[in-house]
A and B are shown apart, each in its own frame.
Chain A
Amino acid sequence: MTVSISMTINGSSVSADVDARTLLVDFLRVNQRLTGTHVGCDTSQCGACVIHVNGKSVKSCTILAAQANGADVTTIEGVANGSELHPMQEAFRENHGLQCGFCTPGMIMSALDLINVNADPSEQEVREWLEGNLCRCTGYHNIVKSIQAGAKAMREA
């Protein structure tokens, strides 16, 4: 079955006809060529695919594109202000919060949602928030540091 969907992605309106079983992540990666959102597992745990739907972080591998019909979607590609990195992106770079970069978009999208609900998270709160984001490279040490630094920069911005 084909369904017609439209949504706003990173501020642009998008419409398409897709197979009903199309996952939002595949719609973004294949149809929209927004390959910054990654797929690292098939059990909704790794968080490499985290994006924002209507301002909340969700796993785009566990939502149908059809479910996002009419939604406002933000992916990692929509975070920076043109050539200027978002303070959270800058904080990840400044604090070496990434190595291979594969989990990074999901980490940053998850971190931004955390800051929406908690502008000044403690180390423990950051670690608990990252329950749904796996990283195999960094040991999390510098990711936690990055998120706290990013939060600080956002508070001061």
Chain B
Amino acid sequence: MSGTGIGASVRRKEDLRFVRGAGKYTDDMNLQGQAYAYILRSPHAHAAIKSIDASSAASSDGVVAVYTSEDMAAVGGIPCGWQVHGKDGSPMHEPKHPALAEGKVRHVGDPVAVVIAESREQARDAAEMIDVDYDVLEAVLDMNQAITDDSPNVHDDVGTNVCYDWALGDPDVVNEAFSNAAHVAKLDLINNRLIPNAIEPRCAIGDFDQASGQYTLHTTSQNPHVIRLLMGAFVLGIPEHKLRVNAPDVGGGFGSKIYHYAEEAIVTWSAAQLNRPVKWTADRSESFISDAHGRDHVTSVELALDENGKFLALRESTLANMGAYLSTFAPCIPTYLHATLLAGQYSTPLVYCEIKAVFTNTVPVDAYRGAGRPEATYLLERIVQVAADQMGLDPTEIRRRNFIQPDQFPYQTPVALVYDTGDYESSLNKALESSDYAGFAARKEASKAAGKLRGIGVSSYIEACGIAPSNVVGSLGARAGLYEAATIRVNPTGSISVLTGSHSHGQGHETTFAQVVSEKLGVDIDSVEIVHGDTDKIPFGMGTYGSRSIAVGGTAIVNALDKIIAKGKKIAAHLLEASESDIEFENGSFVVPGTDKAKAFGEIALTAYVPHQYPLEELEPGLEETAFYDPKNFTFPAGTYICEVEVDPETGVVDIASFHATDDFGTVINPMIVEGQVHGGLVQGIGQALLESAAYDENGQLLSGSYMDYTMPRASDVPSFSVDTTVTVCGHNPLGVKGCGEAGAIGSPPAVINAILNALAEVGVTNIDMPATPHRVWQAIRNAQAS
């Protein structure tokens, strides 16, 4: 089965529909009798709503209904899925997040009212007739200002803008290490706010069947079961058996489609009020002010070293922007997905990290590709570079001196995690080789001759994927389990339906998972169908985020396959008149080794459903098994990225001359797909480093609110990449996999910035924030020359 099994670059099954334009995305659906919702949003960052007059809108052409928060009074707030406790033990502040604003708007884009009409344009026409009387209040924007006593509060009932004040580590021990250190490197930095910008805008269609009381929500989601739980249990009070959530083909997520959004509840609730389907599709302008944003940290970091460049301790203090409300997983991003990564690939014995999460009058911030881990990697790989420069060490040498060594695994970090496997020096060595690190000096000279400044930057990242186990994350505040479910349904004639709780929105599960099944059962990959996205079809699921699909969802599939094989052995034993313990499953057949006794998998499948010769007294007919898998630990992909840039000092333009990535993802199921995931992650990381930034003005208006001002990476902004892998196999899942979805976005920003600072060192520039736009680079050069 090597052609379609584990390790083969099988061409994707899903592409056959996508390249024809035959994918079925949510907005491609139109239900009989559907009406269209338009959401009237706040034009102000912070304002009290004195009154709303919707009377003329209600009588406008084609209008079916106009709703405000008063109409939805019985509907619950949008829930948060993670409760963080502060360092004094107090729970985080968790103000209500109403579906439609109640009394106050808290960010530009906050939903105020919904108009439902026969057409989108009619709904929009009517929305313009709604008269909202606002009392505009001072907007809370700057986090340093927001945490002072003089700041207005985003939530009056909370009385502070600090959502929680959290810490990890022992400050006294860490401070002691700093006071005894031979060298201390310090850095203040900003991890810029990003807007995820999946190319498919969000869409939600609510439907209600009065006869059965059945609700359906078709939505652009990465995790339909999670939406069913959050919206059903907390917002609308619909039990699971009366609520179907269907997320069909989804056009990219990157985290932004994990969360339960108000629009989903609004269309579902409205459909029941009106007894007809209600559809809402975001305009891109709307996406900018209603999809959860990412990152947005203001950080101070210090690294203590001994005289040999050995790390003694790390200290971080960060303000993390939550935006105006707590999005579904927001509280855990700067804490449990961030501080726990601060050891990186290094044997730093002591770490102290304190995080203040801050409410501001901006769009809520939540996980975006990497989620907390890019922020950790960025500060760590930047401060390591600063220390290397200050101590006169080559960036690779300082890393080598501090890497956790292969014989130290499993390795207990000072930040709670236990790394299972890794070989960091191998990845570094391979990256050095593929990037011709040794030849850099000559290339720098060539650039200089052409009037350009060339620089090289290294980043050795680690990430933690497949967040788990459930009992541990539960003790840390998660309000859900983090397992995954899978059902293997072997059909009577041998075809196989795999019902997975993972959700593919670009990752290629229909192919990768089918490869796993093909390999394990020895069946043709074309006889395997991966089914996902519909809560009416899939027993359960937690969805796809945090690079968890293969490590958690894939393992659930393998475990269910093991149950299939175990049952198959019982059936085969009966047919072959052999003892069950003598049966082995090899290459798609149940055999008694050393004999010619064998039954093909297909025969066993048919026998299970036509049980004429079958041990009915001991065994149920049928061949369908379900597994729920809760991982014992995270997985820990890691690698080294090397970026080379050329800077035009006259304009400040940074050109990525080359980019080399070496990753350790454990076992690779489909190398073609894995490389594609890395490419995409790299460009999102390069986008953060060079191009992208959500900019607010002093009134809380989003200045980068369209593609005219938010710089999305284009093909001409990036080069082709050199990507390869090293392998240490994950020891605690049967496939040995680690996950690959976020690595590129996690590891690349510091590689780019370190390269730029390396290039600019000769003109005296020592620091620059992301995104390093031409303007910012030019300004940094100018400032350095002036000083």
Asked if the two chains touch in their complex, CB atoms less than 8 Å apart, one says yes
A94 and B712 contacting across the interface, CB-CB below 8 Å? no
B683 interface residue per 8 A CB criterion: yes
- Nearest-CB distance from B196 to chain A (Å)? 8
B676 and A136 contacting across the interface, CB-CB below 8 Å? no
Cα distance, A130 to B717, chains bound together (Å): 11
B714 interface residue per 8 A CB criterion: yes
Tell which of B505, B683, B684 touches A100, judged by Cβ atoms closer than 8 Å: B505
A99 and B20 contacting across the interface, CB-CB below 8 Å? no
B421 interface residue per 8 A CB criterion: no
Cα distance, A18 to B63, chains bound together (Å): 20
Which of the segments B21-29, B145-153, B323-331 contacts the partner chain?
Answer: B21-29
B19 and A108 contacting across the interface, CB-CB below 8 Å? yes
B494 interface residue per 8 A CB criterion: no
B16 interface residue per 8 A CB criterion: yes
The answer to whether residues A128 and B20 also contact, given A40-B284, A139-B679 and a CB cut-off of 8 A, is no
Cα distance, A92 to B682, chains bound together (Å): 20
Which of the segments B198-206, B550-558, B623-631 contacts the partner chain?
Answer: B198-206
Chain B residue numbers with a CB within 8 Å of A128 are 715-716
Tell which of B251, B680, B708, B715 touches A101, judged by Cβ atoms closer than 8 Å: B251
Chain A residue numbers with a CB within 8 Å of B28 are 29, 35
B672 interface residue per 8 A CB criterion: yes
Tell which of A35, A126, A137 touches B252, judged by Cβ atoms closer than 8 Å: A137
Interface string of A76-110 (1 = CB under 8 A from B): 11011000010001101110101111111100100
B676 and A99 contacting across the interface, CB-CB below 8 Å? yes
A89 and B708 contacting across the interface, CB-CB below 8 Å? no
A92 and B15 contacting across the interface, CB-CB below 8 Å? yes
Total A-B residue pairs with C-beta atoms closer than 8 Å?
Answer: 178
Which of the segments A1-9, A42-50, A52-60, A65-73 contacts the partner chain?
Answer: A42-50
Chain A residue numbers with a CB within 8 Å of B334 are none
B254 interface residue per 8 A CB criterion: yes
Cα distance, A102 to B681, chains bound together (Å): 17
B12 and A96 contacting across the interface, CB-CB below 8 Å? yes
Q: Which of A46, A123, A131 has the most CB of B within 10 A?
A: A46
Q: Which of B254, B672, B714 has the most CB of A within 10 A?
A: B714
Q: Which of B661-720 contact A (CB under 8 A)?
A: 672-673, 675-677, 679-684, 706-708, 712-716, 718, 720
Kindly report which residue of chain A lies nearest to residue B28, judged by CB atoms.
A35
Chain B residue numbers with a CB within 8 Å of A37 are 21
The answer to whether residues A98 and B18 also contact, given A40-B200, A136-B198, A136-B680 and a CB cut-off of 8 A, is yes
Chain A residue numbers with a CB within 8 Å of B200 are 38, 40, 100, 102
Q: How many residues of B contact A (CB 8 A)?
A: 59
Q: How many residues of A contact B (CB 8 A)?
A: 57
A102 and B251 contacting across the interface, CB-CB below 8 Å? yes
B527 interface residue per 8 A CB criterion: no
B11 interface residue per 8 A CB criterion: yes
Kindly report which residue of chain B lies nearest to residue A79, judged by CB atoms.
B20
B250 interface residue per 8 A CB criterion: yes
Tell which of A30, A39, A104, A131 touches B19, judged by Cβ atoms closer than 8 Å: A104
B198 and A43 contacting across the interface, CB-CB below 8 Å? no
A127 interface residue per 8 A CB criterion: yes
Cα distance, A35 to B201, chains bound together (Å): 15
A75 and B680 contacting across the interface, CB-CB below 8 Å? no
B20 and A76 contacting across the interface, CB-CB below 8 Å? yes
Interface string of B25-40 (1 = CB under 8 A from A): 1011010000000000
A62 interface residue per 8 A CB criterion: no
Q: Which of A102, A134, A139 has the most CB of B within 10 A?
A: A139
A135 interface residue per 8 A CB criterion: yes
Q: Which of B12, B197, B250, B676 has the most CB of A within 10 A?
A: B676
A143 interface residue per 8 A CB criterion: yes
Chain B residue numbers with a CB within 8 Å of A137 are 199, 252, 506, 676, 680
B682 and A103 contacting across the interface, CB-CB below 8 Å? no
Chain A residue numbers with a CB within 8 Å of B536 are none
B783 interface residue per 8 A CB criterion: no
Chain B residue numbers with a CB within 8 Å of A42 are 283-285, 706
Q: Which of A107-157 contact B (CB under 8 A)?
A: 108, 123, 126-128, 130-131, 133-145
Q: Which of B505-535 contact A (CB under 8 A)?
A: 505-508
Cα distance, A52 to B682, chains bound together (Å): 32
B721 interface residue per 8 A CB criterion: yes
A41 interface residue per 8 A CB criterion: yes
A35 and B707 contacting across the interface, CB-CB below 8 Å? no
Chain B residue numbers with a CB within 8 Å of A21 are 121
B433 interface residue per 8 A CB criterion: no
B249 interface residue per 8 A CB criterion: yes
The answer to whether residues A105 and B252 also contact, given A43-B708, A99-B507, A144-B720 and a CB cut-off of 8 A, is no
B14 interface residue per 8 A CB criterion: yes
B708 and A99 contacting across the interface, CB-CB below 8 Å? no
Q: Which of B472-516 contact A (CB under 8 A)?
A: 505-508
Cα distance, A51 to B347, chains bound together (Å): 55
- Nearest-CB distance from A71 to chain B (Å)? 19
Cα distance, A140 to B713, chains bound together (Å): 9
A136 and B21 contacting across the interface, CB-CB below 8 Å? no
Chain B residue numbers with a CB within 8 Å of A39 are 27, 201
Interface string of B282-302 (1 = CB under 8 A from A): 011100000000000000000
Cα distance, A140 to B686, chains bound together (Å): 13
- Nearest-CB distance from B491 to chain A (Å)? 25
Tell which of A77, A89, A130 touches B714, judged by Cβ atoms closer than 8 Å: A130
Kindly report which residue of chain A lies nearest to residue B253, judged by CB atoms.
A100
Kindly report which residue of chain B lies nearest to residue A36, judged by CB atoms.
B21
B716 and A142 contacting across the interface, CB-CB below 8 Å? no
B199 and A98 contacting across the interface, CB-CB below 8 Å? no
- Nearest-CB distance from A36 to chain B (Å)? 2
The answer to whether residues A140 and B718 also contact, given A94-B11, A99-B680, A100-B250 and a CB cut-off of 8 A, is yes
Chain B residue numbers with a CB within 8 Å of A43 are 284-285, 706-708
The answer to whether residues A127 and B252 also contact, given A80-B20, A99-B506, A101-B15 and a CB cut-off of 8 A, is no
Chain B residue numbers with a CB within 8 Å of A34 are 21
Kindly report which residue of chain B lies nearest to residue A76, judged by CB atoms.
B21
A100 and B284 contacting across the interface, CB-CB below 8 Å? no
- Nearest-CB distance from B713 to chain A (Å)? 8
Chain B residue numbers with a CB within 8 Å of A136 are 196-199, 252, 254, 680, 684, 712
Kindly report which residue of chain B lies nearest to residue A134, judged by CB atoms.
B712
A101 and B14 contacting across the interface, CB-CB below 8 Å? yes
- Nearest-CB distance from A127 to chain B (Å)? 4
A77 and B21 contacting across the interface, CB-CB below 8 Å? yes
Cα distance, A134 to B599, chains bound together (Å): 52
B199 and A134 contacting across the interface, CB-CB below 8 Å? yes
- Nearest-CB distance from A83 to chain B (Å)? 10
Cα distance, A5 to B185, chains bound together (Å): 69
- Nearest-CB distance from B155 to chain A (Å)? 32
B19 and A130 contacting across the interface, CB-CB below 8 Å? no
Chain A residue numbers with a CB within 8 Å of B283 are 42
The answer to whether residues A48 and B19 also contact, given A99-B508, A139-B679 and a CB cut-off of 8 A, is no
A140 and B707 contacting across the interface, CB-CB below 8 Å? no
Kindly report which residue of chain A lies nearest to residue B17, judged by CB atoms.
A101
Chain B residue numbers with a CB within 8 Å of A48 are 199
- Nearest-CB distance from B614 to chain A (Å)? 41
Chain A residue numbers with a CB within 8 Å of B21 are 34-37, 75-77, 104-105
Chain A residue numbers with a CB within 8 Å of B680 are 99, 136-139
Cα distance, A106 to B720, chains bound together (Å): 21
A36 and B252 contacting across the interface, CB-CB below 8 Å? no
A–B pairs, 11, beta carbons within 8 Å: A36-B21, A42-B285, A43-B706, A43-B708, A45-B708, A76-B20, A99-B680, A103-B199, A128-B715, A134-B714, A135-B715
Give chain B's interface residues, CB within 8 Å of chain A: 11-12, 14-25, 27-28, 30, 121, 196-201, 249-252, 254, 283-285, 505-508, 672-673, 675-677, 679-684, 706-708, 712-716, 718, 720-721, 744
Q: Which 9 A-B pairs have the closest CB atoms?
A: A36-B21, A102-B251, A101-B18, A100-B506, A76-B21, A99-B506, A139-B679, A139-B683, A35-B28
Q: With A37-B21, A126-B715, A136-B712 given, can you name 7 additional A-B contacts, CB distance below 8 Å?
A: A21-B121, A36-B22, A41-B284, A42-B285, A45-B708, A93-B16, A142-B679
